[in-house]
Amino acid sequence: MCQQVDAEAPLEACGLLAGRGNRVEAIYPIANALKSPVRFRMDPYEQLQAFEDIEKSGLELVAIYHSHPGGPETPSPTDIAEWRYDVSCLILFPSGHQWQARAFWLEAGHAAELELYISEM
């Protein structure tokens, strides 16, 4: 994810995380069809391909990620208003020369931060 968001900055990058339970086992980078530094919309064809691969692999959608190259570190009002999935929202943001991540549960117009455990895959 960090390589993707770094390569696509200053535009927002996005993708899907798949796995079992809350454990991520696969990363699916998806093109940002909006090509915007402040918004994202996954390319529908790439998103469908990823969903098909996730299902074929016996995995489930765990989270949707996207970057905020210019901040904030939290979901934007647009992120919250447009969220449609019952999965975590992972936001990647720059901190010095590295990307950091925070996870949130978005529901009913609110964002609640989740604990995030990161380990090498």
Q: Which residues are catalytic?
A: 12
Judged by DSSP in three states, 14 sits in strand
Q: Report the greatest alpha carbon distance in the chain.
A: 39
CA torsion sign, 101 to 67 to 80 to 120? negative
CB 120 within 8 A of CB 112: no
DSSP 71-111: --SS--HHHHHH---SSEEEEEEEETTEEEEEEEEEETTEE
